[in-house]
């Protein structure tokens, strides 16, 4: 009976141990999901898989390279994930390590799109420059933290007020996550693509730059021409009509809106 009790207690402790470690890994992945480090983490998993494969197939040269990589890998990980490790420690210090949530619900995206379009064309008519970025799968937390945190419900009035000239937050980008305006006055990376038209200024280069390093969608209002442009996957389309912009956003942000070709798709096909 005593042996049975000891064995049962051992199984329970092992189960608790596995559950705790699994939960810690799960929360760590949630922290990474809001940053570009998730892609780096996936790359590390590929290297681990290559090391196991080289060991199994007895590929001596590849195995030697993998061994050397992992010898110094700990230091590389500390350098690569330094911002994420710092953020995790800050969460622990504030007691927020278990409070991170995800805004993946897209049920209200049609309302968000309506508000965005209302704000964009209001500003376009008045030549008010603006830069708005939609966060999608690739997290933009690193760039959100460069701006002024808002975490407010999206509305056309809020966006218009942010970009009114000579106000504290008008310079920089607004980043949206779902139906939340996460931050304003954010700094974005500028594209270094030499093929970009010389007519495009810093705002357009920032829109292209963030689309090169993430799958985010950037919307730009030119204060010189009043034209509305959209950047995605390192490419920019300029002077979109309201119908083109609405159908493009519906296609990219609302899952059920992907069944039929949009004005955006037809325009790309004609220009292709």
Q: What is the pLDDT of residue 91?
A: 56
Q: 235: which strand partners? A: 232
Pull the structure tokens for residue 136.
Answer: 């999608």
Look up the pTM and report it: 0.62
Q: What is the pLDDT of residue 271?
A: 43
Helix 82-94 and helix 2-33, axial crossing angle in degrees, nearest 10: 120
Q: Which of 233, 239, 232 is nearest to 199 (CA)?
A: 239
Q: Where are the alpha helices (DSSP H) in 126-227?
A: 141-144, 156-163, 202-213
Residue 237 has phi, psi (to 5 degrees) of: -120, 130
Q: What is the pLDDT of residue 217?
A: 93
Cα separation, 258 vs 83, in Å, equals 36
Pull the structure tokens for residue 162.
Answer: 């942010």
Which fold, 109-271?
YojJ-like (1 (3.40.1700)
Cα separation, 225 vs 238, in Å, equals 11
Q: What is the pLDDT of residue 83?
A: 63
Beta strand segments in 52-129, E: none
Question: Are the C-beta atoms of residues 175 and 143 closer than 8 Å to each other?
Answer: yes
Pull the structure tokens for residue 150.
Answer: 């808002």
Which residues fall within 8 angstroms of residue 259, CB to CB, at 6 or more apart? none
One digit per residue, the tens of pLDDT, for the chain of length 272 reads: 666 677 778 888 888 889 998 888 777 776 666 555 666 677 777 877 888 888 888 888 887 887 777 777 767 777 766 666 665 665 565 454 444 444 445 557 888 899 999 999 999 999 999 999 999 877 788 899 999 999 899 999 999 999 999 888 888 999 999 889 999 999 998 988 878 888 888 999 999 999 888 888 999 999 888 999 999 988 899 988 888 988 999 888 876 544 444 444 544 444 44
Cα separation, 144 vs 185, in Å, equals 9
Q: What is the 3-state secondary structure (H, E, C) of 153-197?
A: ECCHHHHHHHHCCCCCCCCCEEEEECCEEEEEEECCCCCCCCCCC
Q: Where are the domains of the chain?
A: 2-94, 109-271
How many residues appear in the chain? Answer: 272
Pull the structure tokens for residue 218.
Answer: 């950037």
Tell me which H or E stretch contains 174. strand 173-177
Question: Are the C-beta atoms of residues 216 and 119 closer than 8 Å to each other?
Answer: no
Give residue 85's Cα distance to chain centre.
Answer: 18
Q: What is the pLDDT of residue 173?
A: 94
Q: What is the pLDDT of residue 86?
A: 65
Q: What is the pLDDT of residue 207?
A: 93
Question: Largest Cα–Cα distance in the chain?
Answer: 85
Cα separation, 41 vs 35, in Å, equals 11
CA distances from 144 to 33, 34, 135, 149 (A): 14, 10, 10, 7
Question: Are the C-beta atoms of residues 66 and 51 closer than 8 Å to each other?
Answer: yes
């Amino acid at each position: 009976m005593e042996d049975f009790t000891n064995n049962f207690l051992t199984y329970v402790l092992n189960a608790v141990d596995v559950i705790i470690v699994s939960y810690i890994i799960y929360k760590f992945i949630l922290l990474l999901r809001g940053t570009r480090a998730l892609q780096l983490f996936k790359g590390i998993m590929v290297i681990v898989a290559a090391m196991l494969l080289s060991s199994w197939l007895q590929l001596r040269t590849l195995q030697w390279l993998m061994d050397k990589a992992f010898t110094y890998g700990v230091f590389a990980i500390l350098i690569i994930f330094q911002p994420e490790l710092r953020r995790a420690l800050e969460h622990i210090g504030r007691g927020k390590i278990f409070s991170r949530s995800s805004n993946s619900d897209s049920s209200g995206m049609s309302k968000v799109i309506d508000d965005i379009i209302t704000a964009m064309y209001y500003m376009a008519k008045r030549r008010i420059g603006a830069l708005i970025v939609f966060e999608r799968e690739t997290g933009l937390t690193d760039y959100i933290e460069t701006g002024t945190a808002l975490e407010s419900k999206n509305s056309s009035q809020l966006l218009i007020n942010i970009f009114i000239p000579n106000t504290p937050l008008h310079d920089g980008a607004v980043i949206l996550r779902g139906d939340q305006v996460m931050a304003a006055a954010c700094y974005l990376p500028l594209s270094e693509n030499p093929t970009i038209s010389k007519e495009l200024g810093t705002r357009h280069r920032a829109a292209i730059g963030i689309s090169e390093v993430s799958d985010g969608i950037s919307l730009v209002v030119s204060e010189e021409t009043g034209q509305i442009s959209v950047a995605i996957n390192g490419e920019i389309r300029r002077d979109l009509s309201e119908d083109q912009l609405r159908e493009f956003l519906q296609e990219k942000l609302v899952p059920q809106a992907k069944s039929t070709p949009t004005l955006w798709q037809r325009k790309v096909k004609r220009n292709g």
